[in-house]
């Protein structure tokens, strides 16, 4: 990986994100909902603060990798700028790494905003952020594949909507029954919830359910990278 | 003369359609080589095979002595197609700045300035690309293609859908680059453009190269070898045989005009493809 090319791509991607209204709106949605829920549930009880933080963080971790990342990739395909980059000597993994890093950066910013709006405990912030990043990283390859499959931003939106729901809903409904709980255990957003809950209650995150949650995220990251590589070799990034 | 590109028996099939059928090509250093054919003949497929965008089903390609898929090639070639996208929300300068960094262009600011001046876009360098006219965007794409001083340029229909003035500007830029030593591989379906620009051309039809040579050679080869004389009584075609021509001219009293009846490249192509299709 060429460091100078990566730096150039990162600068370009950050500029493009800031100029894309679709992306800016999508990024603000979790922050808006966090503020709204905080206002709606204020005065109901202390437990609601944790609920607001939990739901808003899960929203942020879901929406950015599965919705914004596909849009970022699809935009470049739609406008043929991806082809221009490939015809220069930008490699597929360089292009994607830059997009994923920007995505994770946005996740960090939004998750931080959500944490403080929801009134999270400052002592837990770094553990919260680490759990959010690990969880989001696992979902980035899913979003990257959705971006590869999309011809344009409109189809990226169509493909990513069910993906966002599939990653967002399991942790919210995992307590409803055993089957749902088992299914949701393999989703990275549930892993975030498990790890953060362990941190809040002072448990060792490297044991029990939270260790399983960390392993789930690691499997998603490794498996996603391998699958993506296979998919890219077959279809090519500019398909 | 050294060959800068060589392709042997290049073949590519898409499903049941043979896009390219055992084509041989040689491009000499320093020439402008035209690759002509109607839409769907296989021109863009050829460029993709020569520039490492597609794998061929059969045949070999070497570009600058190397495999077209090798990373070292990218620094030495420039590729311009109708699908060369620009970052619309960024300025003219920013678009070139990105690619200057990607190519590792030395003295970047100076090089960008020179390139923008060459394509007459320097005064518009701070304008966002979305505000540019179609012709200006095409010039910017051209600028990006030549920014890193490539030795070999692949231009896929560079003047397609452009107004005549802008098309002329692009042709002038191509000629200037070639005079400075850049080899150009140019695809077009505009026969007049190829006649004006190219040192040699290949005519492509349904995936086959049907003829190859300089425009003059091809026109002479397929010439009817006749002359059209216009007199007060009308027009008459006479053979280019010297004695017959002299006899006829001696007989003519009110000679008004003499035209040579050499075919255009379009005529050559149409007659070749008619033969092939028959």
Can you tell me the mean pLDDT for A210-223? 89
Q: Which of B74, B90, B99 sits opposite A15 (nearest CB)?
A: B90
pLDDT tens for B105-162 read 999 999 999 999 999 999 999 999 999 998 899 999 999 999 999 999 999 999 888 8
Contact A84 B85 (CB under 8 A): yes
Alpha helices by DSSP H, chain B: 43-50, 71-74, 92-103, 108-118, 134-146, 164-179, 191-197, 215-221, 242-251, 265-277
Q: Write down the ipTM of this complex.
A: 0.85
Q: In A, what residues contact B, Cβ < 8 A?
A: 4-5, 7-8, 12, 15-16, 19-20, 76, 79-90
Chain A residues inside the 8 Å CB shell of B87 = 12, 16, 79, 81
Chain A residues inside the 8 Å CB shell of B53 = 86-87
Which fold is adopted by the domain B3-219? Answer: Rossmann fold (3.40.50)
Contact B98 A8 (CB under 8 A): yes
pLDDT tens for B152-197 read 999 999 988 888 888 998 999 999 999 999 999 999 888 889 999 9
Can you tell me the mean pLDDT for B48-74? 90
pLDDT at B18 over 80: yes
pLDDT grade for A233, boundaries at 50, 70 and 90: low
Least confident stretch, A27-31, A41-45, B70-74: A41-45
All structural domains of chain B with their residue ranges: 3-219, 222-277
Q: Which of A12, A79, A88 sits opposite B88 (nearest CB)?
A: A79
Choose between B233 and A139: higher pLDDT: A139
Share of chain A above pLDDT 70, in %: 95
Contact B87 A12 (CB under 8 A): yes
Would you state the pLDDT for residue A113? 95
Can you tell me the mean pLDDT for A197-208? 83
Chain B residues inside the 8 Å CB shell of A79 = 85-88
Can you tell me the mean pLDDT for A8-12? 95
Chain B residues inside the 8 Å CB shell of A75 = none
All structural domains of chain A with their residue ranges: 3-235
pLDDT at A237 over 60: no
Q: How far is A81 from chain B (nearest CA, A)?
A: 4
Would you state the pLDDT for residue B148? 95
Can you tell me the mean pLDDT for A125-144? 91
Q: In B, what residues contact A, Cβ < 8 A?
A: 51, 53, 71, 74-75, 79, 81, 83-90, 94, 98-99, 101-104, 144
C-alpha to C-alpha distances, A14 to A8, A24, A98, B90, B100, nearest whole angstrom: 10, 11, 9, 12, 18
Chain A residues inside the 8 Å CB shell of B98 = 8, 12
Would you state the pLDDT for residue B1? 64
pLDDT grade for B71, boundaries at 50, 70 and 90: confident
pLDDT at A239 over 50: no
Contact B85 A81 (CB under 8 A): yes
Would you state the pLDDT for residue B274? 73
Would you state the pLDDT for residue A198? 87
Choose between A230 and A77: higher pLDDT: A77
pLDDT grade for A114, boundaries at 50, 70 and 90: very high
Chain B residues inside the 8 Å CB shell of A85 = 102
pLDDT tens for B80-106 read 987 779 999 999 999 999 999 999 999
């Amino acid at each position: 990986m060429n460091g100078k090319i990566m730096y150039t791509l990162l600068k370009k991607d950050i500029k493009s994100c800031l100029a894309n209204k679709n992306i800016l709106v999508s990024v603000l949605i979790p922050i808006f909902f966090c503020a709204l829920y905080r206002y709606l549930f204020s005065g109901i009880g202390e437990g609601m603060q944790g609920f607001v933080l939990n739901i808003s963080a899960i929203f942020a971790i879901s929406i950015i990798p599965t919705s914004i990342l596909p849009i970022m990739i699809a935009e470049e395909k739609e406008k043929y700028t991806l082809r221009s980059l490939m015809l220069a000597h930008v490699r597929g993994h360089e292009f994607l790494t830059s997009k994923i890093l920007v995505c994770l950066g946005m996740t960090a910013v939004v998750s931080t905003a959500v944490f403080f709006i929801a009134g999270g405990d400052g002592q837990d912030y770094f553990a919260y952020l680490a759990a959010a990043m690990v969880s989001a990283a696992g979902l980035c390859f899913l979003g990257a594949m959705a971006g590869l499959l999309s011809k344009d931003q409109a189809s990226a939106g169509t493909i990513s909507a069910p993906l966002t729901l599939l990653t967002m809903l399991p942790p919210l409904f995992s307590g409803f029954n055993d089957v749902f709980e088992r299914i949701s255990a393999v989703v990275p957003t549930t892993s975030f919830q498990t790890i953060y809950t362990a941190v809040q209650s002072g448990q060792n995150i490297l044991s029990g359910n939270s260790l399983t949650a960390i392993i789930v995220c690691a499997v998603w990251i490794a498996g996603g990278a391998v699958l993506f590589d296979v998919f890219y070799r077959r279809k090519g990034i500019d398909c | 003369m050294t060959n800068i590109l060589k392709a042997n028996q290049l073949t590519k099939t898409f499903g049941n359609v043979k896009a390219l059928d055992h084509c041989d090509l040689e491009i000499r250093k320093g020439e402008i080589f035209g690759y002509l054919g109607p839409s769907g003949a296989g021109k863009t497929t050829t460029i993709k095979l020569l520039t490492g965008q597609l794998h061929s089903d059969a045949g070999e390609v070497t570009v600058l002595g190397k495999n077209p898929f090798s990373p070292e090639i990218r620094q030495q070639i420039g590729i311009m197609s109708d699908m060369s996208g620009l970052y619309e929300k960024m300025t003219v300068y920013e678009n070139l700045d990105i690619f200057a960094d990607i190519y590792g262009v030395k003295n970047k600011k100076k090089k960008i300035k020179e390139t923008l001046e060459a394509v007459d876009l320097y005064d518009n360098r701070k304008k966002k690309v979305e505000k540019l006219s179609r012709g200006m965007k095409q010039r910017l794409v051209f600028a990006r293609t030549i920014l890193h001083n490539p030795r070999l340029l692949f231009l896929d229909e560079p003047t397609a859908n452009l107004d005549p003035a802008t098309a002329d500007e692009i042709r002038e830029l191509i000629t200037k680059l070639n005079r400075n030593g850049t080899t150009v591989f140019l695809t077009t379906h505009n026969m007049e453009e190829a006649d004006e620009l190219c040192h040699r051309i290949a005519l492509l039809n349904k995936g086959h190269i049907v003829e190859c040579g300089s425009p003059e050679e091809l026109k002479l080869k397929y010439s009817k070898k006749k002359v059209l004389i216009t007199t007060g009584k009308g027009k008459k075609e006479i053979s280019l045989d010297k004695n017959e021509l002299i006899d006829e001219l001696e007989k003519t009293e009110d000679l008004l005009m003499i035209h040579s009846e050499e075919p255009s490249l379009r005529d050559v192509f149409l007659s070749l493809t008619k033969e092939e299709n028959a």
